[in-house]
A and B are shown apart, each in its own frame.
Chain A
Amino acid sequence: MTKKKNDAFEFLSPKIRLFLSADLIGSTALKQAVGISAALKKDGAGFSSTHSGWISPILFFYREFTKLFFTSWDDERKKYEKRHETSAIRERPFLWKSAGDELIFCIVLETEDSLFLSIYAWMSAIRAYRERTSVLERALDVKSAVWVAGFPVLNQEVALPNEQFIFKDEVSRVEGDYTTNLMNLQEHYRNIKKSNWKIDFIGPSIDTGFRLAKFADSRRIIISVELSNIMARCSLTKMKENDICIYFDGMVELKGVVGGEPYPIFWIDVSSNKYYSESLQKITRSDAISLENLEEFTKAFIDEHKKYLFLPFINGALNPDLRAPPANYRTQIEHIAETLKKEMRKESDLEKSLANVEVDPDEVPKHQLNVSLPKGNEKTTLLIDEDGN
């Protein structure tokens, strides 16, 4: 097997990550409704509890939903592997963040199959969670948004120092800049087990995902344009195989996204009442979009906003069309790898040059060097003589 050119910098290999957000509906209202009054003692003398009844539904969500998704994902992977007689999918989803009442999972997409099995497992988890909570008195419903983000072009991995190491000698590079970050990522990936860094993800695609999440409701998983594009290009078979339909709900302005121009809202139906959902679709005339139209439009949209977006690709996709990066992508990555090597050598040289030769603070220099520093010319033009020197 031939080695990849940028093996030395694993984090520079093109990656596309799928982000799946699940947010509780009505949790703010629940917290407010049972707020402080329920926590107070009946006689008004101090507090009788710390949480006043809202914490359990949230903790239930944290635990149950996570378990349901991971179980569902494992089941789907087994089915996939059985169907394809392979065990090609190595990357598993993990909980990236919990923010308030929102859980966000993330997975590196190795192929289009890992995309579809993750989406399907996600839909199953939402439905299963809803079914499980429907019999509970205080459980809350869930809404979701899903998006993809490409790395290391457009979005970035960032190395954040673990707090206990931030002022230690081992973490000497704490300056916050791109160059330092790449060096720190290299340090992290060289020895993940003993790493002083934790990895986070930032970038415009992730911001867009957060903005889109505001449009989700219990029936609709909102999906980003880039994700819609990949799904449309994957193949009709996979969509049908996984019983996934995509709908369109108009264009909206998302603050700061694609220059503030209208952005399409695409969604997948996860309502638990199919009859209700279908009858609603009939009166709103919101038929599922054909994959051809979806591919055509998302491609046109990305092209129209090429200042902000490019056609997504999955590095290990089975379909060659989905594997192809945009023009100059690989050249840019190779240039980054080369520049990083040079920056690291420069840093190492600096340390060697200053550390290897000790300076005697009391020694008198052997030479008196008379170099005089001229003052700057007022004009910044060149003075050349008649010979052109």
Chain B
Amino acid sequence: MNQSHVAMSPAQAIEFSVPEPTGLRRNDVEALAENIAAQMGYLPGADIFSAVVEAGGRVDYKDYWDSKNIDSGSLVVYGEGNFEIFLSTETSHLRDKFTVAHELGHYVLHYLYPRQVLSKPINYLKADRYGTNKTEWEANWFAAAFLMPKRKFTNDFRSAQGRIREVSELFGVSESAVKIRARSLGLTHKDDEKEE
């Protein structure tokens, strides 16, 4: 197929696909997330923003609380290696890191995976910050495994004797993310989480 290299403004009308569930099991999504992290050379606790830029992403900010802002899009994919992630101007850095990993999950699971593995003709993709279907769960699984890969997380959590804050600093994620991850890996139950 001939391609003409035409510069197009993202503002121009484009037909965007919306994320569709992959139907993959959580373990498969997690394995894929760890594989992608390895391809990106991303190590737990490192700077996810630079890693995204390396992969052709751009990170921008939007005020979702402003009534003038009617677009609640959080990810726009224009092509492989060409996507834009929008973060809220009003959230903390730790929450933002999880959001970046979540949007990266949409990019991999709902754009690259259907194109490369299922040969689906998706050209452009747009995900919403307030999406509600199964794709959000899949992107959350991806983000948790990308930022807190299960083997390393399990080992480090045990070495830190379950001290939440210590683990949160190690992986550069919020304490609540550590608590949820530890619970889902069967490392703790809600009643026995340690505080420093």
Contacts and interface: CB of A to CB of B under 8 A. Distances in A.
Nearest to A341: B130
B6 A382 contact: yes
A367 B112 CA distance: 16
Interface of A, helix, strand, loop or mixed by DSSP: loop
Interface string A344-360: 01100111111101111
Contact of B82 (A363, A365, A382): A382
A273 to B, nearest CB: 52
B119 interface: no
A384 B6 CA distance: 6
B2 A385 contact: yes
Interface in B177-191: 179-181, 183-186, 190
A214 interface: no
A371 B92 contact: no
A50 interface: no
Contact of A371 (B4, B36, B94): B36
A193 interface: no
A354 to B, nearest CB: 5
Contacts of A326: none
Nearest to A175: B92
Contact of A177 (B91, B136, B144, B175): B91
B49 interface: no
A376 B82 contact: yes
A349 B26 CA distance: 15
A99 interface: no
A167 B193 CA distance: 11
B129 A355 contact: no
Nearest to B57: A376
Interface stretch (A29-37, A283-291, A327-335): A327-335
A342 B88 CA distance: 13
Given A167-B196, A169-B193, A346-B130, A382 B184 contact: no
Interface residues of A, number: 56
Given A172-B179, A342-B130, A346-B129, A382 B140 contact: no
Nearest to B25: A366
A167 to B, nearest CB: 4
A336 interface: yes
Interface string B106-134: 00100011001100000100000110100
Contacts of A334: 67
Nearest to B6: A384
Interface in B1-59: 1-8, 10, 24-28, 30-32, 35-36, 39-40, 53-58
B123 A373 contact: no
Given A339-B64, A361-B151, A376-B81, A371 B88 contact: no
Most B CB atoms within 10 A — which of A366, A370, A377, A384? A384
Contact of B91 (A180, A350, A363, A375): A180
15 contacts: A175-B91, A180-B91, A342-B72, A361-B151, A361-B186, A365-B30, A365-B31, A369-B35, A372-B116, A373-B112, A377-B56, A379-B7, A380-B82, A382-B82, A383-B5
Interface of A: 167-169, 172-180, 328, 331-332, 334-336, 339, 342, 345-346, 349-355, 357-361, 363, 365-367, 369-377, 379-386, 389
